[in-house]
Amino acid sequence: MAPTRSALWAASLFVLSTGITALPGDPAGYTAGHEEPHPAYDDHPGKPHPLSPAHLPIPYLGCYIHTDEPYALPLHHAESPVLTPAKCHAHCQNHGTTYSGVSHGNKCSCSNHPPTTKPAPEHECSLPCSGDPNTACGGKNRIHVWGAPLPVREQVGPYKYQGCFTDSRDTKSLTGKVTRDAEMTLEKCASECKEYAFFGTEYGTQCFCGTELEVYARRKPQYECAQRCGGDPNEICGDADRLSVYSKGEMSPIKNPEVVGGFKLKGCWSDSVAERSLEGKVLRDGEMTVELCAKFCKGSKYMGLEFGSQCFCGDHLGGHAVGKDECSYLCEGNKKEVCGGSARLSLYEVEKEEKKCGEGNYGKREECEGEY
């Protein structure tokens, strides 16, 4: 029985003391990193014409410079005494990468991006493969490269593809709901974000929602979004610090009421589990709305909504004001309202009564607005 994909994956992750991975099917006792490369044919007079690269079911890109710094393909390095380009390609596929390359006759490297180094003359990639002496496997500091980016999924339900954009831990490009799933697909992310105008996938397993794409998001070349989705290797789910972004048509405007239940909107406010900005009553409800929180906090000076489903009350306020775009989680009970964010409160304060000038108030400037 052929080994399962999971078995191949486990075997391919077996890293030896040299720090280089051995490939599945290598002879027992083989130690990666201690085998000298085969001599190059064109280094020895009288040898046959340099060997040709293998034909694989993906495009051949050519011969490239491949040194320790930089590598043409920087990921999942492996060695094998029976290496072939097809075996290297399978190794890279098992690791979810779209580019594979062979070098030094017995070494395999992978990447999600095209080669990062300059092309080299084809005759410099002429070392026979350790697993097939009739086929070339790169050369000394030279690598044969195959691969092509996965095709982009242009539409997922009502969402259309917008491109590859930057993202980072400190400046999120989509600031709504977040989901992490080892089996992530574009369909799963679209479903998680169905109440939002935007969704984006990142690093193969992460899904971000948003009501808008933040202004500091920068478009990048498509090849920088090349990570396969954890739940579907035929789809692209962003990359490291890169979002595959989708959006749908115009949605109903999302806006919180300025005044509700005697409370007036103050803005977006910081919060933390370790030090709450509001330390009174707490309500967690999967049908949370601004109106529900106002009713729950009646009698308190402040109310705040957080994480889409949480309501906090209090008479004393900690924390500090933050940018309004940091509050972008839609309320679980009303998707046209915002209920804070992660460690962020949509904050309301009891509406202050206006003191009007009238009999007995003349001459008191501080109590008479608009009379002077």
Q: Mind listing the pLDDT tens digit for each residue in 288-300?
A: 999 999 999 999 9
pLDDT at residue 250, rounded to an integer: 60
What would the mean pLDDT of 268-279 be, rounded to a whole number? 94
- Could you tell me the pTM of the whole model? 0.51
Alpha-carbon distance 19 to 32, whole Å?
9
Q: State both tokens at 273.
A: 């589990």
pLDDT at residue number 149: 76
Alpha-carbon distances of 266 from 51, 162, 302, 364, rounded to whole Å: 73, 34, 10, 28
Whether pLDDT at 35 is above 50: no
CATH T-level assignment (fold) for domain 155-247? Hepatocyte Growth Factor (3.50.4)
Q: Give just the sign of the alpha carbon dihedral 166, 167, 173, 174.
A: positive
Closest by CA position to 305, among listed 334, 336, 280, 268? 268
Assess contact for 149 and 226: CB atoms under 8 A.
yes
Q: Residue 25: left (phi > 0), alpha (psi -120 to 50), or beta?
A: left
Q: Does residue 238 register a pLDDT over 80? A: yes
